[in-house]
Structure 1
């Protein structure tokens, strides 16, 4: 077996309007039954995922907060991979009227165009923080924390190398995720910039595209997708 794990984004990929349909859950169960590991890689916070996705324990690992947290859903164990920005930063954002403002274990999140206020505060306080975008959402994290670094930590726990992983996503913050994987896949509704970098683009959108990918993994370990890509590339 060439690919030992699937790493999937949540919103816009696995989920539609924040929910995962029963067909997709069943497809994930079939993939798990093929002795492959399932890893969810998302910008969402763990508590939020538990609330909106009761089937979360189907995953072997959850990389949350855009790579800052690794969660074991069956054991309910959480590991932080970075420190949250200083309280002074969060208070300064509130003083500037940044709303909404979400504070996780590590991530501080808001929406566009609040990144301008956040950048002003970062400069004024002399902080080393990065701003990451996700289709209108804005995440503020310590430097060098992203979905790829979080996935790397999860894979180390599972003793799987990155080249044995298929990853799938749709947005700006999925570039690093796809780049580090053995096969990076963009769903049909993904940003054009992500599609351009992906090894494969699904025919279907969002969760239907994930199901398409899962069926190809189970059927022939993505070999048919490889042959189609090579044929189109030589045309």
Structure 2
């Protein structure tokens, strides 16, 4: 295989719709690692969550977490980009001014995530993505200069909400990333999964031309653009499929595993 670093989104890409990793993936991962190929999940999920999900890996994986704000390799965090406290509060103020959107907010820091206790169902769902989660009275009390991102759930169209409600609040220093059909991440302007891939590739000494990336949604756009070769999932966002080099079978068809098996066997 010509690729030395493979990175892959999780939800809607490697995971099926039930949020499971196929049993066929683990022996495939073993084959990759035996050949010295680095596999790095790239997700908006928390580092601890991703590491828990890859406990079955024959060898430790590298990780691009929090949509690129945190990069992990060889047992340590090698890159971490945070948001200024004032900028975080500015976004939280804008959210408070628009309760009609039906927000739920997760405040993400390197030392854990924080969610308000007002919605127990949301806290339970959030725990699936953030294994190191604290349920608190008010997330504003936990804002400091170590915030990585704000993960927002909205009951409206996230693309419309990002363009109208959040556009002015984010200013020039923050980026609004639509990460799902009801999800928005607010992160540092200079951060995305593509930057995370560049940071990881530089750390391990792999040229971007020898990287391969899989994704399905808009928060994967920079990741696929940065990689030497890119695959969008058949179930992916139309914009992503239009920009990718190739289309992989859907996540429900085990598309990532099928493509990698073909590449390894060719």
After TM superposition, the score normalised by the length of structure 2 is 0.72
Q: Where does residue 100 of structure 1 map in the other structure?
A: 104
1:11: how far off? 0.7
Q: Does the CA contact (< 8 Å) of 2:70 and 2:196 recur in 1? A: yes
Task: Tell me the distance in 1 between the aligned counterparts of 2:163 and 2:263.
Answer: 41
Task: Tell me the distance in 1 between the aligned counterparts of 2:59 and 2:45.
Answer: 17
Query: In the TM superposition, what whole-angstrom CA distance separates every residue of 1:90-123 from its partner, at most 9, and x where no partner exists?
Result: 6526644563211212111112338638964663
Query: In the TM superposition, what whole-angstrom CA distance separates every residue of 1:138-167 from its partner, at most 9, and x where no partner exists?
Result: 000111211110110011111001100111
Q: Where does residue 115 of structure 2 map in the other structure?
A: none
Structure 1 runs not aligned, ≥5 long: 221-235
Q: Secondary structure at the match of 2:39?
A: strand
Runs of 4+ in 1 over 4 A off after TM superposition: 56-59, 117-122, 124-127
**1:106-145 map, 5 Å:** 106-112=148-154, 113=156, 116=161, 120=165, 123=168, 128-136=173-181, 137-145=183-191
Q: Does the CA contact (< 8 Å) of 1:68 and 1:146 recur in 2? A: yes
Cα distance change, pair 215–57 in 1 and its aligned pair in 2 (3 A): closer
Cα distance change, pair 88–141 in 1 and its aligned pair in 2 (3 A): same
Q: Where does residue 179 of structure 1 map in the other structure?
A: 225
1:57: how far off? 7.6
Structure 2 runs not aligned, ≥5 long: 110-147
Task: Tell me the distance in 1 between the aligned counterparts of 2:241 and 2:95.
Answer: 36
1:217: how far off? 2.1
Task: Tell me the distance in 2 between the aligned counterparts of 1:149 and 1:18.
Answer: 26
Name whichever structure is richer in strand by fraction. Answer: 2
The total of aligned residue pairs comes to: 218
Q: Where does residue 229 of structure 1 map in the other structure?
A: none
**1:54-69 map, 5 Å:** 54-55=55-56, 58-69=59-70
**1:34-45 map, 5 Å:** 34-45=35-46
Task: Tell me the distance in 2 between the aligned counterparts of 1:188 and 1:39.
Answer: 21
Q: Tell me whether 201-210 or 191-200 shows the greater mean CA deviation.
A: 201-210
After TM superposition, the score normalised by the length of structure 1 is 0.80
1:49: how far off? 2.4
Q: Where does residue 137 of structure 2 map in the other structure?
A: none
Q: Tell me whether 159-168 or 20-29 shows the greater mean CA deviation.
A: 20-29
Q: Secondary structure at the match of 2:29?
A: helix
